[in-house]
C-alpha cells in the first residue's frame, strides 16, 4: 500500500523558510551522550532546573525532555516543546506504556490573551460496538503478571485514540515551528536506536509471549530470533521511523484517513473488532474553556472540564482539604489525624467510578453532578458525611504504568501541561502493531464505562492536568499519571498551594500511594513508600497500613502516582521545573 493518501500538510508558521534541526546533532558537544546515559538511570529525588528562557519536565524520558528544550532553543514556544517531548517519549518506550494511537489531555495557558485552553484527545468508543459489556478481557491486580490481562485477544478491545490528532490540532492552533521539525528527535530515536533501559526490559520480559503472537508485531518489536530485548540492547524501529516521516509530511490524516488507518481497520476486524474507517475519520479533538475554581490564598486552579472526571476530582479534593481543616493544622506527614483525613479525602475520587444511581445510594440527597462537585458548598456537605469514615472506603481497622507527563514553559509566560497514555498494561494483550505504532486494548477493562458512553462518543478520563493562576497569570503548570495519580496530585498541590513549598519540596515530601484493595473482602490497606513516614504517625491512624519497598514492582508500578510541575515567577520571569523523584524523570531549562 504505497499510494499517498491525503493533502500534504502545508501551513504557514512564524519563521518558516528556515527548517530547524531538533535532533541531537544540534544539542551541542556531549549532550546526546549525557541524556542517553540519564535515560538509563533511576532517580531518588526530583530533578530540578531553572532559567529565564524555557523549561521542560517529564515523569519519564530524560532524553525526551532535552529534545523538547531544543525546540524552544531554536525559536519554538512551550507548545512546540511539549509536543516534541511527547512524540519522543513514545519512541523511547517502543509504544509500550504510551502510544501514537493512545490518548492525550492538554491544558494551555496562553500568555498574550490570559486564557486557559483545554484539549481533550481522549478515547472515542466504537460506533458499531453493540454489546460493550461482552468485550473480552479483565485485569487482576494481584500480581504483575495478572495485571497484563486475562481472556482471549480481541479486536473489540481497541478504542479510537486521539494522541496524534491532538499533536496535529495543538500545533496547528498554537505552534510556531514547522510541524515536521517536531518529529525529528523521535525519528532519530527510532532510526538510530536507543539502549533498552531497565523499565522497558521488564516490560519486554512480561509481554514477550503476547508480542510474539502476530507476525507484524513480532517482526517489529522482538529480536530476529523471537527473543525479547534486554537491558542495554540497542532497539531500532525502522518501520516506526518511516511512519513518523509520513505523518510529519501529511499530518494526522495519514493515520485517520489514509493508508495507516486502512491497515489498522483490517487488523482489528481480522481479530473480531467492529471499528471502521468512519470511526477514524469522524474523530475530532474537543477544545473547551478550562474548569476554574478559587482555592484560597489568591490562587485558582484551571483544569480540563467534564467529561474529564479527573479535573472535577482534583478541585473537589482541594475544597475538601480546606473544609476539613487539613490546610490549617500540622502537615499530614507529622500528624496521624491529618494523614487519616488526607486518605479519606482522596478516596472520594471513587465517585467518578460509580453510576449516578450508585453514587446516589451512597450519598442520598447530595447533588453529585460535576457542576456541584467543584463548589465549596458541596465540599462542606460531603465532608460532614465522610469525616467519620467514608462509605467509599472500607478500611481494615487495626485489632493502571501506562502514561507519561510533560510540562513546558517559555519566556513569554506560556505554560502547557500534557498527560498522554496507552491506557492499558504495556502494549496490551491483543498486541497489534501497525507500521511501528502499538494498538492498546483499553476496552478490555473499561466495559462498563464504554457501555455508559454513546456509541462513537468520548469516554470520560481520570487525568489531572492543569494550571495554577494568580491574578490571571499562570504561576504553575502540572501533570500527573499512574494508578495513584489522584493521591499524588492532591499531595503535590496541597504542598504547593497551602504549605508554601517549592515544586521541588512538594515532590520530595513523602507521599502515600493509592490504597491496596483485597479482592475478596474489599477491605483497604493504606500504602506508603518504605522508610518515608514516621511509624508512630502511621500507627496512630487507626487503620491497617503497609510499606512498599523500592524493589516491589507491583506496588511501585501499580500503586504510586507521579506529579511533575513547572513554576514561573511573574515578578522575575524565572522558570523553575521539577520532575518526579523516581524513575528516569528529568527537568531541563535554559
Q: Which helix (H) or strand (E) holds 451?
A: helix 447-451
Domain contains 439:
yes
Domain contains 337:
no
Structural domain that includes position 139: 24-288+402-451
Burial of 457 (0-12, 13-18, 19+ CB in 10 A): middle
Domain contains 462:
no
In angstroms, rounded to a whole number, what is the distance separating the alpha carbons of residues 306 and 288? 10
Domain contains 549:
no
Q: Which helix (H) or strand (E) holds 537?
A: helix 535-539
Q: How do beta strands 286-289 and 115-121 pair?
A: antiparallel
Give 156's contacts (C-beta < 8 A, 6+ positions apart). 126, 129, 135, 136, 271, 272, 273, 274, 443
In angstroms, rounded to a whole number, what is the distance separating the alpha carbons of residues 255 and 260? 5
Single out the residue of 72, 51, 67, 61 nearest to residue 97, CA to CA. 61
| Cβ(475)–Cβ(570) below 8 Å | yes
Domain contains 365:
no
**pLDDT for the residue 402:** 65
pLDDT mean for each 10 residues of the chain (590 residues): 47 53 97 96 95 97 98 98 98 96 98 98 97 86 62 95 98 98 98 96 93 97 96 97 98 97 98 98 97 91 94 95 94 96 91 79 88 94 84 56 88 98 89 97 93 95 95 96 93 96 97 84 86 96 86 58 96 96 94
pTM: 0.93
Total length of the chain: 590
Give me the residue label for grid cell 477514524. Answer: 280
Domain contains 336:
no
CA distance readout (Å), 124 to 136, 159, 257, 356:
18, 6, 16, 21
- Nine cell digits for residue 541: 491512624
In angstroms, rounded to a whole number, what is the distance separating the alpha carbons of residues 360 and 356? 6
Total domains, the chain: 1
φ and ψ at 163, to 5 degrees? -55, -55
**pLDDT for the residue 556:** 46
Domain contains 527:
no
DSSP states of 304-342 = PPTTBHHHHHHHHHHHHHHHTTTTTSS-TTT-HHHHHHH
**pLDDT for the residue 557:** 46
| Cβ(421)–Cβ(461) below 8 Å | no
Amino acid at each position: 500500500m504505497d499510494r499517498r493518501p491525503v493533502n500534504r500538510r502545508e501551513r504557514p508558521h512564524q519563521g518558516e523558510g528556515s527548517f530547524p534541526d531538533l535532533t541531537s546533532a544540534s544539542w551541542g558537544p556531549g549532550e546526546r551522550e549525557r541524556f542517553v546515559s540519564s535515560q538509563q538511570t533511576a532517580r531518588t529525588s526530583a530533578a530540578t532546573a531553572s532559567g529565564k528562557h524555557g523549561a521542560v519536565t517529564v515523569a519519564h524520558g530524560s532524553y525526551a525532555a532535552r529534545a523538547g528544550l531544543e525546540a524552544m532553543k531554536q525559536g519554538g514556544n512551550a507548545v512546540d516543546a511539549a509536543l516534541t517531548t511527547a512524540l519522543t517519549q513514545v519512541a523511547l518506550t517502543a509504544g509500550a506504556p504510551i502510544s501514537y494511537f493512545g490518548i492525550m489531555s492538554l491544558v494551555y495557558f496562553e500568555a498574550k490573551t490570559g486564557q486557559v485552553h483545554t484539549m481533550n484527545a481522549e478515547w472515542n468508543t466504537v460506533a458499531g460496538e453493540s454489546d460493550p459489556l461482552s468485550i473480552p478481557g479483565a485485569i487482576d491486580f494481584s500480581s504483575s503478571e495478572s495485571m497484563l490481562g486475562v481472556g482471549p485477544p480481541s479486536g473489540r478491545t481497541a478504542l479510537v485514540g486521539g494522541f496524534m490528532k491532538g499533536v496535529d490540532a495543538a500545533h496547528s492552533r498554537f505552534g510556531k515551528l514547522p510541524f515536521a521539525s517536531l518529529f525529528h528527535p523521535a525519528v532519530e530515536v527510532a532510526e538510530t536506536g536507543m539502549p533498552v533501559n531497565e523499565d522497558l526490559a521488564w516490560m519486554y520480559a512480561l509481554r514477550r509471549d503476547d508480542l510474539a503472537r502476530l507476525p507484524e508485531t513480532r517482526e517489529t518489536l522482538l529480536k530476529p530470533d523471537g527473543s525479547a530485548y534486554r537491558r542495554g540492547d540497542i532497539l531500532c524501529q525502522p518501520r516506526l521511523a518511516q511512519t513518523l516521516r509520513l505523518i510529519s509530511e501529511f499530518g494526522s490524516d495519514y493515520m485517520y484517513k489514509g493508508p495507516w488507518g486502512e491497515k489498522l481497520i483490517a487488523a482489528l476486524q481480522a481479530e473480531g473488532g467492529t471499528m471502521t474507517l468512519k470511526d477514524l475519520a469522524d474523530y475530532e479533538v474537543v477544545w473547551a474553556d478550562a474548569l476554574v475554581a478559587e482555592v484560597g490564598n489568591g490562587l485558582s486552579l484551571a483544569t480540563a472540564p467534564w467529561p474529564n472526571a479527573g479535573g472535577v476530582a482534583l478541585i473537589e479534593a482541594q475544597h475538601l482539604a480546606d473544609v476539613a481543616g487539613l490546610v490549617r493544622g500540622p502537615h499530614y506527614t507529622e500528624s496521624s489525624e491529618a494523614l487519616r483525613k488526607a486518605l479519606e479525602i482522596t478516596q472520594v475520587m471513587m465517585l467518578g467510578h460509580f453510576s449516578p444511581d450508585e453514587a446516589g445510594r451512597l450519598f442520598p440527597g447530595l447533588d453529585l453532578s460535576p457542576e456541584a462537585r467543584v463548589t465549596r458548598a458541596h465540599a462542606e456537605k460531603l465532608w460532614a458525611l465522610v469525616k467519620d469514615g467514608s462509605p467509599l472506603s472500607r478500611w481494615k481497622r487495626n485489632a493502571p504504568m501506562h502514561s507519561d507527563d510533560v510540562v513546558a514553559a517559555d519566556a513569554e509566560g506560556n505554560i502547557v501541561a500534557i498527560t498522554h497514555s496507552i491506557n492499558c498494561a504495556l502494549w496490551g494483550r491483543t498486541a497489534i502493531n501497525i507500521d511501528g505504532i502499538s494498538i492498546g486494548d483499553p476496552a478490555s477493562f473499561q466495559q462498563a464505562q464504554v457501555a455508559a458512553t454513546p456509541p462513537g462518543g468520548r469516554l470520560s478520563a481520570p487525568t489531572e492536568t492543569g494550571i495554577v493562576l494568580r491574578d490571571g497569570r499562570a504561576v504553575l503548570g502540572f501533570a500527573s499519571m499512574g494508578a495513584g495519580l489522584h493521591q499524588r496530585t492532591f499531595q503535590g498541590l496541597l504542598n504547593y498551594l497551602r504549605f508554601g513549598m517549592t515544586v521541588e519540596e512538594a515532590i520530595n515530601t513523602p507521599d502515600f500511594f493509592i490504597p491496596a484493595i483485597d479482592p475478596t473482602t474489599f477491605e483497604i490497606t493504606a500504602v506508603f513508600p518504605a522508610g518515608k513516614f514516621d511509624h508512630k504517625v502511621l500507627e496512630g491512624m487507626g487503620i491497617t497500613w503497609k510499606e512498599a519497598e523500592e524493589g516491589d514492582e507491583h506496588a511501585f508500578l501499580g500503586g504510586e502516582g507521579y506529579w511533575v510541575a513547572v513554576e514561573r515567577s511573574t515578578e522575575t520571569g524565572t522558570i523553575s521545573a521539577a520532575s518526579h523523584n523516581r524513575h528516569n524523570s528529568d527537568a531541563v531549562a535554559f
